[in-house]
Amino acid sequence: MSTPTSTQITLASRPTGWPTHENFAVATIELPELVAGEVRVANEFLSVDPYMRGRMNDVKSYVPPFAIGAPLEGGAVGRVVESASDDLAVGDVVLHQRGWRDVAQGDASEFRRVDEIPGVPLSAYLGVLGLTGLTAYVGLTVIAPVQEGDTVFISGAAGAVGSAAGQIARLKGASRVVGSAGSAEKVDLLTSRYGFDAALNYKDAPVREQLPALVPDGVDVYFDNVGGDHLEAALDVMSTNGRVALCGAISQYNSTERAAGPDNMSNVVTRSLRLQGFTLAAYFHHMPEFVAEMGPWLANGDVVFDETVVDARDDVSGTIDAFLGLLRGENTGKMVVRTA
């Protein structure tokens, strides 16, 4: 029997501006024998995500930078092929952070067993059935709970979080779901594919001008992926006791000057609104209940999602192409890499 190997992608140098192939290296290493408690996993799908570009800089953030010469990390889903752990058996499907390689090996505690759901590709665990979907789910069940009959507005609705949020809102009882997106094509997707009742293109005219006509009964729940002008427009039309989940402020990420905030914050008082920001780390414990609900929705087709699958089964270095393509916006929906 040949010695098992892992082909891994490492960071060769820190990119300045747009990364290129030269910033990466591919190395095949021989894997040591498992020690007690470890497992070996054949990865089936790897995740590439925009946040990874940030980790390639030598800058402190909420996640540490990648080290030069070390294998890159990222979400991955695979299957246990050898186990020296009582917790995981050969054949188990596991979710973990040792991506950017074809075979991963480590202590079983770093791998989380997940159920294989008939009719749902394992890649879903890297997106709509993973942290992306959980973000939408937590936003609309814990932070700003949707109630029967609510009107729900979602900004950045064609994104991975937003498109899941729109469908979850409907399944949780919303009677009207409205979204915003930044192109005519995306706006069309919202109503034709993701079941939104109405959608606006925020590049056509100020959100503040477009939104009121789409929400004649006001907005009970606003899921904010954008901030800025979208939040201001939403505050105009929020109903009494409305709830706002603030999930991101994309519109301000790249601005060097501080943007003026909403000019209608007094509505928060007069309409008894609740605005709550959240980052997902504090809500991981909702994962089991989320998967229990979302799994069947996906299997039944109640929730649809898009992904772009890059085939790297013959050569894991295709992951680099997938990542560079992601940064160029070549994906529709979640970008994943197939490695087995």
Question: How many Å apart are CA 273 and CA 275, to the nearest integer?
Answer: 7
In angstroms, how far apart are the furthest CA atoms of the chain? 73
Minimum CB–partner distance for residue 184 and a copy of itself (Å): 28
According to CB under 8 A, which one of 232, 294, 307, 323 is a site residue for a copy of itself? Answer: 232
Q: DSSP 3-state assignment of 178? A: strand
Minimum CB–partner distance for residue 263 and a copy of itself (Å): 4
Distance of CA 219 to the CA centre of its chain: 25
- Interactions with a copy of itself, residue window 244-303 (CB under 8 A): 246-249, 252, 258-279, 282
Say if residues 41 and 102 touch (Cβ distance below 8 Å).
no
**Owner of token pair 């409205």:** 178
Q: Give every CB contact of residue 187 below 8 A, 6+ residues apart in sequence.
A: 158, 181, 199, 200, 201
Say if residues 26 and 9 touch (Cβ distance below 8 Å).
yes
231 binds a copy of itself (CB under 8 A): yes
Minimum CB–partner distance for residue 265 and a copy of itself (Å): 5
3 or 270: CB nearest a copy of itself? 270
Which residue, 120, 49, 92, is CA-closest to 336?
49
According to CB under 8 A, which one of 75, 127, 159, 227 is a site residue for a copy of itself? Answer: 227
Minimum CB–partner distance for residue 248 and a copy of itself (Å): 6
Question: How many Å apart are CA 143 and CA 165, to the nearest integer?
Answer: 13
Minimum CB–partner distance for residue 137 and a copy of itself (Å): 17
Minimum CB–partner distance for residue 132 and a copy of itself (Å): 16
34 or 246: CB nearest a copy of itself? 246
Total residues in contact with a copy of itself, by rule CB under 8 A: 32
36 or 269: CB nearest a copy of itself? 269
93 or 219: CB nearest a copy of itself? 219
Say if residues 252 and 228 touch (Cβ distance below 8 Å).
yes
Q: Report the interface residues with a copy of itself, using CB under 8 A.
A: 227, 231-232, 241, 246-249, 252, 258-279, 282
